Structure 1
């Protein structure tokens, strides 16, 4: 696929997807969503990829400023919502669990950790994208907002489901009902972010974190643990325990289990396979 609104780089097991419409503050369009899903699908299928990082083009001075204004105007003119995507759009993460088979929820079906490196404003769908990542790091002073209230929209793309699970109902109600702006520092206090860093240290920290994750965690463990986390949001405790025991019986037979034990005993980095 020709990339017009995104960039892709792979180095040392880390796939970096950059939202790149700098003249529009990396605002979201149907084309960007199409490219983003295609890139996620490619990264998920590539055995060389261990971790996926999503960030914004720094020239845009935002992570993603939300839906492009032109798209918002188009909805008003058409009198209906138009996602701007085709029926044959890529479906990364689909087929793992029916609970994940929808826009942005597909992140939960992807078999690799997804890290959001939020290097500027994240509004509307930009906040959605960050919320559905597995880990979130942001530059100090970054501003966030749900935005939907000012457009007579509902909470977008499952924010009403995911935000209460990340930050609790009290904080989620505040952000969803008010559509107010909040800062990275406030988001960290609420538990939305893993860490807030100086802007010039953000990508250094995220890259280092991703490298350590890729080196120290077996790919099968990362995949199955991630799926357990999001599936268990719908399960009772007993089912979660039973499924964990089933996975243990299966995964202990994989060569990476023996390699992990051997590497630990020999005090060296593991040589993961698969």
Structure 2
């Protein structure tokens, strides 16, 4: 696929996905969603990729400013919602569990962890993208908003399900019912962010963290642990324990288990087979 709104780079096991419409503050369109899902699908099936980092083009001075206003005007003129995508759009993360087979919920079905490097404003779908990432690192001073309230929209794309599970019901109600602007500093206090950083330190920290995941954790462990986390949201405690015990019995037979033990004993970096 020819990429016009997304930049994709793979370095040392880390796939960096950059939302790149800088003249429109990296605003979301059907084309961007199509390209985004395509690069996620490519990264997820590529054994060379261990971790995925999503960020915004810094020239856009935003992570993602939400849906492009032209798209919002188009919805109004048509009198209906139009995603701007086609039926043949890529389906990364689909087929793992029925609960993940939907727009943006597909992030939970990916086999690689996704880190959001939030380097500017995240509004509407920008907030959605950040929320469905597995980890969130953010530059100080960034502003967030759900935005939907001002357009007579509902809470978008499952935010009403996922936000309470991250920040709790009290904070989620505040964010979603008011659609107010809140700061990165507030987001950190709410528990929405993993770490708040100076703008110039954001990407170095994110890439260092991603390298530690790529180098220090076996691909099988990353894959299965991520799947456990989101699958277990729908299980009771006993079901989660039983599934974990079954996985342990399976995964201990993999060569990466022996390699992990040997590397630990020899105090060296493990050479994962994946």
> Fold match, TM over 0.5?
yes
Determine whether 1:95 maps to 2:95. Answer: yes
* Secondary structure in structure 2 of the residue aligned to 1:40: helix
Aligned to 1:209: 209
- Is 2:132 aligned against 1:138? no
What residue is the counterpart of 1:80 in the other structure?
80
What aligned pairs does 1:189-204 form with structure 2 within 5 A after superposition? 189-204=189-204
**For each residue in 1:50-87, what CA deviation from the matched residue of structure 2 results, as whole angstroms up to 9, or x when unmatched?**
00000000000000000000000000000000000000
Aligned to 2:174, the other structure's residue is in SS state helix
Match of 2:184 in 1: 184
Please list every run of 5 or more consecutive structure 1 residues that lacks an aligned counterpart in the other structure.
none
2: CA distance, partners of 1:23 / 1:264? 48
1:223 aligns with 2:223: yes
Q: Which residue of 2 aligns with 1:14?
A: 14
Q: Distance in 2 between matches of 1:201 and 1:263?
A: 31
1-structure distance, mates of 2:175, 2:106: 23
Aligned length: 274
Partner of 2:272: 272
Structure 2 unmatched ranges of 5 or more: none
1:242, distance to aligned residue in structure 2 (A)? 0.3
Give 3-state SS (helix, strand or coil) of 2:8's partner.
strand
CA distance in 2, matches of 1:234, 1:187: 26
SS, match of residue 138 in structure 2: strand
1:129 — aligned with what? 129
Aligned to 2:260: 260
Residues 215-235 of structure 1: per-residue CA shift (max 9 Å, x gap): 000000000000000001010
CA distance in 2, matches of 1:184, 1:137: 10
